[in-house]
Amino acid sequence: MISMRRKKWSLQLAVVCFALVALSAYADNGDALTDKQTDKQNAQAWLKKIQLAAQKLNYSGTFFYQQANQVSMSRITHVFDGKNELDKLEILDGKPREYIRRNDDVACYMPESRTIMLEKGFTQKLFPALLAANSADLTEHYDVSKVEGGRVAGYDCLIITLQPKDNLRYGYRLWAERNSGLLLRAQTVNEHNDVVEQITFAQVVIGGIDRNNVRPSFPNTGSWHVEISPVMEANLTGWSVTAVPPGFKKIHELKRMVSDAAPNPVPGAIVTQHEVGQMIFSDGLAAISVFVEPGSQSRTEGSLQQGATNLIGKRQGDYWLTIVGEVPAAAIRNVANSIEFKSK
């Protein structure tokens, strides 16, 4: 008797399921298909809107950045005067740091050592332009969709989701303010849909920001030590990386001098330097860096995961390679195993 009942139940269930499938299939054949397409275009348009909003709006707010078990809090103030973009970012946790950006040039103020570090000409080419230029390509490697969202920092939001089409990149969920498109929260999610890293405004004011708010907070920096960041464009001839994930393109080749100082340098000791090359690949959302340097020192090979960031350090012949990126460990491994050097 009991078994009869069970059979009857399962039969009913099957009928209901079938009906549901049939119904949804029917719906898909109709207008729903074109709706989906416009949804997708809509979502892409929102990606562009997010990008533009970050550049063209004036805003000021406090945000959290959380990565694995680390959290840090910062305050950003952004002003666009019609021609120039001005940013002031204050790091509120740990060591005091202040970054003042004017278009391509960034000055980092380090009060405890009374130092200003200048970096010129790299920012603009890379960050904001990148996503905008690639947002059509993005749909080749991500399913982009738009869903209704909740509130973030008191503002109503829409959520744009980017679901990766392979296992060589993470997914993203972006909360954009409904009217302006300003990004108020971004989450990086792994294949189980767990958040591995996120950044979110706790409080933000959009519009009506005074230009004086993007000046450095330190009154007399005339006597401060000014350093120019030792990074330059370079050509790392002979090195090739063949297995970057599809859609990743080389966006930069750089060289920098790195000092070999011990963590606690002894005063008076001579600090030697060596050159480190860096190749950067990106799909517009994530990036992978390959660092190449002469490998004379003894170092431990291995890997590291920190939030969305994965790292592998390995020796190759006379060189030491470090591969870093905000992509899953499998992607970093592929890259690490595909690096070749051919001397001409």
Partner 1 sequence: METKNMTQEQISALVDNELSDEQVNLALAALRQADGRDAWDIYHQIGDVLRSDEMAHDFSPDFTARLMARLDAEPTVMAPQPKQVAEQPSLVAVGGGRSMSVAFRRFGAPTAMAAVAVIALIASPQLLVGLKGDSAKDSSSTQMVASAGLDQRGSLQNVAAQDITVSAATQNGVLLRDPKIDEYLLAHQRFSPAWNSSAQYARSATFASGTAK
By CB under 8 A, the residues from 6 to 45 that bind partner 1 are: none
Separation of CA 185 from chain center: 13
Angle between helix axes 33-56 and 123-141 (nearest 10 degrees) is 170
3-class secondary-structure state, position 268: coil
Which residue lies nearer to partner 1 by CB, 24 or 126?
126
Q: Which of 39, 216, 289, 341 binds partner 1 (CB under 8 A)?
A: 289
Q: Does 336 bind partner 1 (CB under 8 A)?
A: yes
> b vs e for 284-323, b when ≥16 Cβ sit within 10 Å of the residue's Cβ?
bbbbbbbbbbeeeeeeeeeeeeebbbbbbbbeeeebbbbb
Q: How many CB atoms lie within 10 A of CB 124?
A: 14
3-class secondary-structure state, position 114: coil
Q: Does 180 bind partner 1 (CB under 8 A)?
A: no
Of 8-16, 33-41, 216-224, 254-262, the window that binds partner 1 (rule: CB under 8 A) is 254-262
Q: Which of 3, 25, 268, 342 binds partner 1 (CB under 8 A)?
A: 268
Contact 188, 170 (CB under 8 A): yes
- The distance of closest approach from Cβ of residue 282 to partner 1 in the complex, given in angstroms and rounded to an integer, is 6
> b vs e for 146-157, b when ≥16 Cβ sit within 10 Å of the residue's Cβ?
beebeebbebeb
Q: Which of 42, 44, 74, 161 binds partner 1 (CB under 8 A)?
A: 74
Separation of CA 20 from chain center: 40
Q: Which of 46, 142, 155, 291 binds partner 1 (CB under 8 A)?
A: 291
Which residue lies nearer to partner 1 by CB, 91 or 234?
91
Q: Does 155 bind partner 1 (CB under 8 A)?
A: no
Count residues binding partner 1 (CB under 8 A): 76
Instruction: Outline where DSSP puts E strands in 83-194.
Output: 85-91, 97-102, 105-110, 115-119, 142-152, 155-164, 171-177, 183-189
Binding mask 99-138 for partner 1 (x = CB under 8 A): x-x--------------------xx--xxx-xx-------
- The distance of closest approach from Cβ of residue 191 to partner 1 in the complex, given in angstroms and rounded to an integer, is 20
Which residue lies nearer to partner 1 by CB, 145 or 200?
200
Residues 293-312 binding partner 1 (CB under 8 A) are 296-304, 306, 309, 311-312
Contact 301, 315 (CB under 8 A): yes
Q: Which of 2, 223, 262, 344 binds partner 1 (CB under 8 A)?
A: 262
Q: Which of 149, 247, 325, 328 binds partner 1 (CB under 8 A)?
A: 325
